[in-house]
Structure 1
């Protein structure tokens, strides 16, 4: 393997574009793009000067020149495409969600472990600098939170993504955006095994178009009486909301779009630390490093299974 990794990107939408830009900025090579629409794949390849484009993932996986794959495809094909990458022995960075069920997530974790293939899941919130500091404190035992309230509120009643492009697929509030918040809430509560966490769900009636609720509240209660609440919405017509309210040991912390505040004021503001790399850059850099070292990535499928287990129980309650 050369110093520069040759990457195959699957997808040509906004997320795939972000991955392509980071890949080039990190000194890697965009070798292939794979997409469902041949014309859009060709346009993406031309824009980023990618040598090969097409609609066949299998063709890309059969290319010995491909060192690793980044999946920026629709939610419901992630699991199948990740499985095919693992079976082909190709390291893969999978956009969140890894799968649309806990059973598939466990299967992929087992397969990656058995095959010794580097797989990383894009739980990007873990690389937000302010939240990373709090997670580190919890892991070190220097902080303990008794209550976590997480909110992820955006507008996605239809298939229009944040870039304004009309997608050919429907997003999923529970398994996509609430996956970020659920995973982070478990981390902030220090929960690495969700089997003993009690899960409750309240939700609006299903949307007639997607058949899924567009407003969901998920509550997790630990055996020792601590509570994590995740509120998700696809009906928010105001500015996007992504925040965490943390309470414990007589001290509260509020994290809004990665700005951390406590009773003393602003504890961390990324605008005041331009030297700090952005979350996606740190995430992709870790994937490239893990691929070169042929080691498990920091956010491997095993590490996100607690969140997937909680989401599956929530899904079962929603029906």
Structure 2
């Protein structure tokens, strides 16, 4: 499969590292706004084509596109990819509004192209271990209690570089747990309650959140998230 990766930042590079392990995957293009930076990454990964716009890349013979772009671009770019005849994987979240998410679904149904979201946590070895136990009838999820704690005061990525978008507890962290809960419970979420703390004056985001989920089969999830964790344990997810 011929693939174009959009976004040569921290997560784009994670995808490129992963794709090297898949014999049937060939990265044929890399898209980035900074031509020099994008070319440098392309040279490192032996990617033959560099583009500065998604529109240009969609004219290629690629089969699929992986979007590692700012959140606010996800829905429109996913739709553009499918309408151009490409399968697409979108980094979380699929969209930052219900209306946009529904439009992506509509276009997926119209085109028949694969549109998948990067909910990778369910594939972690520890979660697969639990899931296999559930599938075998040895375990049953009655309540999932999750804590996601960071200390964040600067808008930087995993490489320590400034982001062009702002990390968000709901869109970029809670989204993983919502998916994992539905996956492990084997039941769709039918009710959600959420509250958030004060908005940070510079980052413009809530630094603390609490979320409750109820699955159709009665399973419950309690999720606590914070960017204010400066304790002795440091950053952790459990």
TM-score, with structure 2 as normaliser:
0.90
SS at match of 2:223: strand
Q: Which has the higher helix share?
A: 1
Q: 1:82-101 counterparts in 2 under 5 A?
A: 82-101=78-97
C-alpha separation between the residues in 1 aligned to 2:44 and 2:228? Answer: 34
My pick for the range that moved more, 16-25 or 215-224, is 215-224
Equivalent in the alignment of 1:212 = 205
Q: CA deviation at 1:227?
A: 2.5
SS at match of 1:161: coil
Structure ranking higher on relative contact order (CA contacts 8 Å, 6+ apart): 1
- Cα distance change of structure 1 residues 25 and 225 upon mapping to structure 2, 3 Å threshold: closer
Runs of at least 5 residues in structure 2 that lack an aligned partner in the other structure: none
Equivalent in the alignment of 2:65 = 69
SS at match of 2:20: helix
Structure 1 residues 32-77: Cα deviation after superposition (integer angstroms, max 9, x where no partner): 111122221122122212111121101100112x121111112221
Equivalent in the alignment of 2:14 = 18
Q: 1:25-104 counterparts in 2 under 5 A?
A: 25-27=21-23, 28-64=25-61, 66-104=62-100
Equivalent in the alignment of 1:236 = 229
Equivalent in the alignment of 1:296 = none
C-alpha separation between the residues in 2 aligned to 1:79 and 1:69? Answer: 13
C-alpha separation between the residues in 2 aligned to 1:226 and 1:20? Answer: 37
My pick for the range that moved more, 123-132 or 102-111, is 102-111
Equivalent in the alignment of 2:196 = 203
TM-score, with structure 1 as normaliser:
0.68
Aligned length: 235
Contact 1:75–1:96 (8 Å) recurs in 2: yes
Q: CA deviation at 1:146?
A: 2.2
Contact 1:152–1:181 (8 Å) recurs in 2: no
C-alpha separation between the residues in 1 aligned to 2:183 and 2:216? Answer: 16
C-alpha separation between the residues in 2 aligned to 1:224 and 1:92? Answer: 31
